[in-house]
Amino acid sequence: MATDSGRFSAKLDVPEALTFDDVLLRPKESRVEPDDADLSARVSKNVELTVPILSAAMDTVTESDLAIAMAREGGLGVLHRNMTVAETAAEVERIKRAHELVIRRENVVTVSPDDTVREADTLMEREGVSGAPVVDEDDVVLGIISGTDIRPYLEVGEDDAVREAMTDEVITAPEDVDAREALELMYDHKIERVPIVDDGDGLVGLVTMQGILQRREHEEAARDGDGRLIAGVAVGPFEEERAVAADEADVDVIFIDCAHAHNLNVLDSARAIKETVDADVVVGNVGTREAAEAAVDFADGLKVGIGPGSICTTRVVSGAGMPQMTAVSEVADVAVEHDVPVIADGGIRYSGDAIKALAAGANAVMLGSYFAGTDEAPGRVITMQGKKYKQYRGMGSVGAMKSGGGDRYLKEEDEDEEFVPEGVEAATPYKGSLASELHQLTGGMCSGMGYVGAETVPELHERAEFVRVSSAGQTEGHPHDVMITDEAPNYSPNE
């Protein structure tokens, strides 16, 4: 009987695939100082960031607090999807309401004069505001109520009507008010918020002292065309309802969140979602040229990463994956021909890894564990052996999948007696504020651009060259032959 000699052994005649530690950027002649480097780049066809950094859509990384912090620093926080559809919309609205110069009417939290003080307090606490206009059934502004007004009533008269507790001498401003005029009104009258009204005293918006000051403090924030913070949200590959709800809440970028987007059912659903929403749609995750070719005709961005994350076990559980530098470069080869931005998702431990990803063709990078230890991340703080850590788990872990993330890995709980996880639950060192972590990350990336002689990300794409690194070279690249006594904020020997 004839045999196909070499049929299987030929499968092992394979190309080499590389990750971050396998390469270094080749230093080149340069006049670029790190402070002159411009990291701004598109994260999708219609959304540009001052800082090309995204926080991962993980339930121990990104909720609205961290997303707001990311956007005001120029990056993008991508909300996880282990929450109800209504909660997703509310989180997007909270991001959009934060730092608005003029909070639009649909986003202004208001109360009725007939509400009780307790009801007003509960509403304000839930919505995260310290005060609210009081309006009648015709939306005419009758007064303002704040925490200061409410506090005495909570002790003795929480069932009293809001009309009894509110400040009824309201200072308002016309629709054409600018920031300077609003600030002068607040200063002159010693108030913190000014309702914007039309000619009939109907409420059309709200300006707050906090909003003006925050806008001045964060001039490099990532904002939409209306001056609101940029927001991103992850949706399951078949979650059109969540995508529509987020779109109606004015989300800027929707991320199709799947471990293996080169699945024909996922691609069909992603196309349908793209046709349904106004927001940009980024498809992920992909890791090969073929996957990029399958999605690039309709996607506004491509997210790259098959198993590189620190808490991901996809490669050892499934036997499938692609080292991240090779994955990014393959996808970028296709995407650049269609003007589609590429996001490198996962595997980034140091700022040097991030700039290598950009040099390999990515426009932006997404990180999870890097931000999971920050104050703004939702994970709980854990103390072990006298050191503080924060909870961090992969979306393929058992806990995350039970919380609703199973379809990211194309698995449903009612189909299997138990999940086959592709991630673990762990802890990451507590780091403090997100702003400090971003400063270290972007500072290192700008240093890398200086070494290459690239002032912008497009220049980096053109000028960057790599060299291969041996295992000895990798060892040489880290501090060696010494005992570190004072750790640097941007380097840990255990990473």
> Is 307 labelled a binding residue?
yes
> Is 187 labelled a binding residue?
no
Looking up tokens 């402070």, which residue turns up?
A: 35
Cα–Cα distance, 278 to 454 (Å, whole number)? 34
How many CB atoms sit inside 10 A of residue 178's CB? 11
> Is 284 labelled a binding residue?
no
Which of the residues 72, 408, 446, 463 is marked catalytic? Answer: 408
> Nearest to residue 320, comparing CAs of 407, 457, 422, 195?
422
Looking up tokens 């609703």, which residue turns up?
A: 404
> Is 347 labelled a binding residue?
yes
> Is 319 labelled a binding residue?
no
> Is residue 312 annotated as part of the catalytic site, yes or no?
yes
Three-state SS letters, 228-297: CECCEEEECCCCHHHHHHHHHCCCCEEEEECCCCCCHHHHHHHHHHHHHCCCEEEEEEECCHHHHHHHCC
Cα–Cα distance, 133 to 195 (Å, whole number)? 7
> Is 259 labelled a binding residue?
yes
> Is 200 labelled a binding residue?
no
CA dihedral 293, 258, 395, 399 (to 10 degrees): -150
Which of the residues 312, 315, 349, 463 is marked catalytic? Answer: 312
Rg (CA), the chain: 25
Helices (H) and strands (E) in the chain, counts: 18, 20
With beta carbons less than 8 A apart as the criterion, state whether 234 and 251 touch. no
> Is 448 labelled a binding residue?
no
> Is 105 labelled a binding residue?
no
Token pair of 359 as six digits: 């040099």
DSSP string, 66-80: HHHHHHHTT-EEEE-
> Is 443 labelled a binding residue?
no
Segment (H or E) for 344 = strand 342-345
Cα–Cα distance, 405 to 236 (Å, whole number)? 8
> Is 373 labelled a binding residue?
no
3-state DSSP assignment of residue 473: helix
> Is residue 408 annotated as part of the catalytic site, yes or no?
yes
3-state DSSP assignment of residue 63: coil
> Is 372 labelled a binding residue?
no
3-state DSSP assignment of residue 346: coil
> Is 309 labelled a binding residue?
yes
> Is 221 labelled a binding residue?
no
> Is 450 labelled a binding residue?
no
Q: Which residues are catalytic?
A: 312, 408
Binding residue positions: 257-259, 305-307, 309-310, 312, 345-347, 368-369, 392-396, 422, 476-478
Binding residue positions for NAD(+): 257-259, 305-307
Binding residue positions for K(+): 307, 309, 312, 476-478
